[in-house]
Structure 1
Amino acid sequence: MLSPTTSRPAAPALRANRDFRLLFAGSAVSVLGDQFTLVALPWLVLRLTGSAATLGLVLAAMALPRAILMLVGGALVDRMSARRVLLLARSINAVLVALLAGLALTGGVSMPVVYAIALGIGVATAFAYPAGSALLPQVVVPAQLSSANALFMGMRQLSMFIGPALAGLAIGMHAGQAAAEARRLGLAFAIDAASFLVSLGSLWLIRGAAQGQSRPRMNGVLTDVAAGLHQVWTDLPLRAFMLYAAVVTAFVGGPIQVGLPVLANSRLDLGAASLGLLMTANGGGMLVGGFLSRVVARAANGRLGVLVLCMDTLAGLALAALARVHSTSHGALLLAGVGVLAGIAQIAIVSWIQQRVPAAMMGRTMSLLMFTFMGIGPVSAALAGSLLKLISLGTLFAGAGLGLSAIALGCLASPALRAIGSARADGAGLNA
C-alpha cells in the first residue's frame, strides 16, 4: 500500500501524463459501452430461446476460447507491444459487435450467428484483457500504480452504475413488442460498437512508454507460458490467491451470470429494466467500495487476505438471500451490498499483484488472474444453466451463496491466504 505522503503527489502527475489521459478516456468510453452488451446479449438469448441452459452455452462459447487462449495472450503481450495487441483485439471486437447490431436491427439474428459471434468475442478478449492490464504499468511509474488503479476501478464502477440502468431502460422501453424490442437491442449493440471506435482512436494516439517495444525471444510461446505459471506457483501467497479465486469463480460466477437474467425475466416486474437496475446497484456498491478501499486496506494493516476472506463470507450470505427475492428493490439492495464488499478488495488486490510481479512477467501474471475470473466464470455459467433444468432458481442462489461463505470461512485456516498483503522478506517474492 502507498503511504499518504506517496499518494498525494501521484494524482497531479497522472493528470499531466498524456498517455495515461488517453488510455483512461478511451477505456472509460469503452467500458460504458460494454455495459449495453452485457445487458443486451443475455436478454437477446432469452428472447430468442427462453432457455437458461442456452444462455449458459452462449456464455461458455465466449469462455472456452478465452480460457484456452488467455495464457497464450499473456505470453504474447510479454514479448510484443501491449498497445498493438490491444489495438488488434479491440478492432476485432468492434467488428463483431457491429455485426450483431446490424443483424438485430434488420431482424436477421439467429442462434447460430449468436454462437459464432460469442466465440469470436471470446478469442479477441483472450488477448485484450492481458494487454490492457499490462499496458497500465507501462504508462505510469510504480509509485503511481495504486492511484492509477483506483482511478481505473472507480471509472469502471461508475460505468457499471450508469451503463446497465441506461441499457435496461432503453431495451425494456418497448417490452412485449417484439419488433420494437429487437430494434432497441440492435441500438444497444451499436452503442457498444461505437464505444470501441472511440477506444481505438485513443489507443492509436498513445506514444512513448505505453507503446512499448517488441521483445522477441529465443523461447517459444508455450515455454513462456510455462515460465509464467512457474513464477506464480513459486510465489506462495500469489499462488494461494489464484487458486482461491478460481474455486470461488467456478462455484458462484456461473450462478450469478445466469441467475440474474433469469431472475429478472421470471420473477421481477420490469423485465430488462430490472436486470439493468440489479447490475446498476452492484456497480454503485462497487463504486462506494472503491472509495472506501484505501482506508479499509490501511486499517487491515497488511492483513489483506483476512479482509478478503471475511468480506467474501458476508457476500455469500447476501447472495444466498437472493433466493427469496421477488422485487427489484430488494434484489438491488442485496447486490449493492455485495458490490461494496467487492469494491473494497479489488483495488488493493490488483495493486498488490502489480507491485509484486516483475515487469517481464506482468502480462502472463495478469492473464492468469483474468483467466480465474473471466475464463472460468462463463464455463460455470453453462453448468448453472443446465442445473436450472433440475433445481429451482432459489436453490441455485442459496447453494452458491452459502457455498461461498463456507469456502471463505474454511480458507481462513490457510497461512498462505492470510499472508496476502503482508510485506515481503526480500525483493524476490515469497517462495513455497
Structure 2
Amino acid sequence: MDGARSPQLLSPSTRETLAAIRRPGFSTVFRNRGFRTLWLAQAVSGMGSWLVVFALLNLGGFRFQLSAGALGGMAALFFLTLALVFPLAGAFVDRASPRRVMIMADSLRAGVMALLWLAWEPPLIYPVMLLTGCMTCFFLSAQMALLPSVVEREELLVANAVSAQTQQVNGILAPLLAGALIARLGERLCFALNGLSFLFSALCLSRLAPRQEGHIARAERRSYRPRAFTRELRSALNLFLRDRLLVSVMGLAMLLIVAASAVNVFGVIYVRDVLRAGPHAFGSLLSALGAGMAIGIGLVGRYAHAVRRIALIRASAVAIGLGLISVTWFTRVLDVLIGAFLMGVAAAAFLIPTQTLVQERTPARFLGRMSGLLWSLVFATQALSVTLVGGLASVLTLPSLYRALGMGLLVFTGLTTLYAQEPRRLASA
C-alpha cells in the first residue's frame, strides 16, 4: 500500500521528471478505450461543426449578400454570447455528470441543426447561431472536465495534443469537403450531416463507462439556486486569481489572441500592400500557419514531456513575439511563409502545455467552473480584439502594428514571469 501511495507524496518537479522518463506516446493513449471513445466523438462532431461554419458563412456572404459589417456583427455577437454563457456552463458541469452534459448538448445541437433547414432568411441565422453556441459552451466545459478522468496524469499532455491535432485536421479537410458539397448540393446537406455527427457523438459518449467520471461529479447534488451558482462562480474566480502562474499564462494567452486577430484580419492586406502579392500568396500564408500548427502539435505530444510546462509556454510566447517582429523585415513571400510556419509551431507549443497546465493545477471539483471561466476570457478577448486591432491599424502601418504586438509579447512575457515569481522572491528576502 505504501508503494502505491508514494507517488502522491512526491514533489511536483519529481512527478514531472518521472512522467518525462515514462514518455507516453500517441499509441499509449489510443490503447485507452475510454479515450478512443471520447476522441471519436470529438472528431466526428468537430468535422460536422466545421461544415456548418462554412455553410453559414457561404449562406450569409453569397446567398444573402450580407455586408462585412453584418458578418462582423454576427461574429462579435457569437463570441460575446459564448463569453457570457461559459461561466454558467462550467458551474453546471461541476454539479452534474460531464458525460451526461455532453450527451445533452449533442442532442440539443442535433435538434438545432434541424431548425437550420428552415433558416433561409438572415434574421433566423442569428438565433440559430446563438443556440448552437450556447450548447457548445456546455459541451466544451464538460469535455475539459472529463478528459483528466479518462487518461492518466502523465498521458494528459499527449491526450490534449491528439485532441488539438484532430481539430487541426478537421480545419484543413472541412473547407474542401464543405466547398464541394455546397457547390453540388447546397448548404442544407451540411446542416443535415452536422446533425447526424452530433447524434453519433452522443451515441459514442453513451458507451463511455460512467465510473471514469465518478470522481469529478459531485457525490451530493445540491439545489440549482441562483445564489449557489453565483457563489460557485466566485469560488472559481478566487481560485484562479490566487494562482499567479495561471493568471500570468492566461494574460499571455489573451495577448496572443489579439496578435492572432491582427494576422487573421489584416493578413490579406499585408500580403497585398507590403508583399505585393495576390490571393495565392495569402492562401499559402494561412496554409503555412496551419502546417506549422499541425507539426508543432505532433512534436509537443512526442517530445515536450522533458520540458517544464511553464518554460515551454514562455519560450513559445517569446518565439511568436520575435516572429512577428522579424517577418516585417522580409519582403519575399518565401521568407514570410517560413516565418509563418515557425510561428505556427510555436503557437502549438503554447496551446497544448497551457491547456494541460490548467487541468493539472485545477482541483477536479473545480474543473468545470475553471474551464468555463477561462473559455469566457478567451471568447471575450476574441470579440474585443477585432475592435482593438482595427483601432490600432487606423493609426499604425501594418508592419508597425505587427512589430508593436511582437514587442508587447516580449515585454509582457517578462512582466508575467516576474509576477508569477514575486511571492517566492519576497519569501526568500
TM-score range, shorter chain: 0.7 to 0.9
> CA–CA distance in 2 between the matches of 1:224 and 1:301?
28
Matched residue SS, 2:221: coil
The 8 Å contact of residues 60 and 378 in structure 1, kept in 2 or not, is answered as yes
Does residue 166 in structure 1 map to residue 174 in structure 2? no
**1:162 offset after TM fit, Å?**
2.5
Q: Distance in 2 between matches of 1:49 and 1:255?
A: 25
Cα separation, partners in 2 of 1:86 and 1:241, compared to 1, 3 Å: same
Match of 2:237 in 1: 229
Label 1:311 to 1:372 Cα distance change in 2 as closer, same or farther (>3 A).
Answer: farther
Counterpart residue number, 1:66? 82
Do the aligned partners of residues 160 and 332 (structure 1) sit closer, same or farther apart at CA in structure 2, a change above 3 Å counting? farther
Q: Distance in 1 between matches of 2:269 and 2:133?
A: 22
What is the Cα deviation at residue 345 of structure 1? 1.9
Residues 151-230 of structure 1 mapped to structure 2, 5 A cutoff = 151-168=162-179, 170-171=181-182, 174=183, 183-212=185-214, 213-214=217-218, 215-217=220-222, 220-230=228-238
Shift of the alpha carbon at 1:202? 0.7
Amino acid at match of 2:237: L
CA shift for structure 1 position 334: 6.2
1:285 lines up with 2:301 in the alignment: no
* Structure 2 partner of 1:370: 375
User: TM-score, with normalisation over the residues of structure 1?
Assistant: 0.77
Structure 1 position 298, deviation (Å): 3.5
Q: Does the Cα contact within 8 Å between 2:259 and 2:405 map onto a contact in 1?
A: yes
Q: 1:300 to 1:240 in 2, by over 3 A?
A: closer
> What is the aligned partner in structure 2 of residue 34 from structure 1?
49
- In structure 2, the gaps of 5 or more residues are 1-15, 272-276
Residue 107 of structure 2 corresponds to residue 91 of structure 1:
yes
Cα distance change of structure 1 residues 65 and 199 upon mapping to structure 2, 3 Å threshold: same
Summarize the Cα distance change of 1:45–1:153 in structure 2 as closer, same or farther, 3 Å threshold. Answer: same
C-alpha change, 1:334 and 1:30, in structure 2 (3 Å) is farther
Deviation per CA, 1:165-204: give whole Å up to 9, x if none.
3334554xx5xxxxx6xx4333333333332222111112
Distance 1:415 1:68, change over 3 A: closer
**1:69 counterpart letter in structure 2:** V
Q: 1:329-387 CA distances to partner (integer Å, 9 max, x unpaired)?
A: 99976654442221122222222221111111111222222223234313434x37976
2:10 equivalent in structure 1: none
Aligned Cα RMSD in Å?
A: 3.9
- Please point out which of 120, 123, 129 is paired with 2:131: 120
After TM superposition, give the deviation of residue 405 of structure 1 in Å.
0.9
One-letter code aligned to 1:199:
S
C-alpha change, 1:353 and 1:239, in structure 2 (3 Å) is: same
TM-superposed CA distance for 1:40, in Å, is 3.1
- Aligned partners of 2:244 and 2:420 also within 8 Å: no
Aligned partner of 1:25 in structure 2 is 40
Contact 1:305 1:419 in 2 (8 A): no
In the TM superposition, residue 134 of structure 1 has moved relative to its aligned partner by 0.7
- 1:129 matched to 2:134? The reply is no
1:146 correspondence with 2:157: yes
For residues 344-423 of structure 1, the aligned pairs below 5 Å read: 344-381=349-386, 383=387, 398=399, 401-416=402-417
User: How many residues are paired up?
Assistant: 397
| Residue aligned with 1:206, SS | coil
Structure 1 range deviating more: 402-411 or 229-238: 402-411
Could you say if the C-alpha distance between residues 415 and 110 of structure 1 is closer, same or farther in structure 2, counting changes exceeding 3 Å?
closer
| TM-fit CA distance, 1:320 | 6.5
C-alpha contact (below 8 Å) 1:62/1:121 kept by paired residues: no
Asked whether the equivalents of residues 158 and 283 of structure 1 are also in contact (C-alpha less than 8 Å), the reply is no
Deviation at 1:235, TM superposition (A): 0.6
Distance 2:31 2:222 in 1: 34
Check whether the contact 1:69–1:123 (CA below 8 A) recurs between aligned residues.
Answer: yes
Identity of aligned residues (%): 26
Whole-angstrom CA distance in 1 between matches of 2:200 and 2:329: 40
Structure 1 residues 27 and 302, CA, compared in 2 at 3 Å: closer, same or farther? closer
CA distance in 2, matches of 1:5, 1:140: 17
Bigger Cα Rg = 2
Residue 12 to residue 122, structure 1, CA distance change in 2 (3 Å): closer
Counterpart among 320, 330, 343 of residue 348 in structure 2: 343
Counterpart of 2:229 in structure 1: which amino acid?
A: V
What amino acid does structure 2 have at the position aligned with 1:24? W
Would the aligned equivalents of 1:54 and 1:385 in 2 still touch at CA under 8 Å?
Answer: no
Equivalent-residue separation in structure 2 for 1:18 and 1:207 (angstroms): 10
Paired with 2:327 and 2:114, the residues of 1 have a C-alpha distance of: 34
The answer to whether the 8 Å contact 2:80/2:379 transfers is no
Provide Cα deviations, 1:70-98, integer angstroms capped at 9, x if missing partner. Answer: 11111111111111212222222223234
CA distance in 2, matches of 1:196, 1:64: 24
